[in-house]
Amino acid sequence: MESDASARGREFAGDRFVDTGIVSTNHPKIVHRRDLSFWEKLYLPQIFGGLRITLSQLFKPRFTRQYPEERWNPPASFRGRPVLVEDGGIERCVACGLCARVCPALAIEVQGSETELPKERYPVKFEINMLRCIFCGFCEEVCPEEAIVMSKEYELTFTSQEDGIFGKDKLLMPAEKLKDRIEFLRQNR
């Protein structure tokens, strides 16, 4: 034990190490490993084990799609881009602003106004910045009129930042196209 401590040039003295000032002349030990055999050098068992795993995957069903030729049809629970529901040419939104308040990314901007229609208010301006949207679905959960719904659309490409801001013209979608999602929401509320 003392030889190890002196080899390091330090000794343990009660509660701490003390420098002994001794310089070690011991050389490090050389570890001799046995030479690999010819078959071990070829690494064949490991190669065959890897090939066995690869070949076993050939006979399993594929789960990769050749996009864009093969399109994915998402389930009703999928949260794609948010859209405004349109009933008979009139949007359901009453411009209450709850969706804008609950949005964690601050992606929604709503400005409401009075109207002569049976509903008291409507959105003069309704914009969603899709570059900021995180598709959390809070806006559709908080909406009292089921006016904003997460659609099944997942292909969003833009050539400029201005294209990423969707106004009412890009957001309005007929309720018939969204009936699966609306039914899913009603069942899970």
Q: Could you report the per-residue pLDDT of 38-91, keeping only the tens digit for each?
A: 878 888 888 999 999 999 998 898 888 888 899 999 999 999 999 999 998 889
Q: Could you report the per-residue pLDDT of 115-166, keeping only the tens digit for each?
A: 887 888 999 999 999 999 999 999 999 999 999 999 999 999 999 999 999 9
- The residues, any chain, with a CB within 8 Å of residue 132's CB and separated by 6 or more, are 105, 106, 107
Peptide bond between residue 68 and the one before it cis (omega within 30 degrees of 0): yes
What is the identity of the amino acid at 172? L
Every domain of the chain and the residues it spans: 2-58, 82-187
User: Which top CATH class is 82-187?
Assistant: alpha beta
pLDDT at 114 over 70: yes
Q: Give the whole-angstrom CA distance, residue 37 versus residue 98.
A: 73
DSSP-assigned letter for residue 31: P
DSSP-assigned letter for residue 18: E
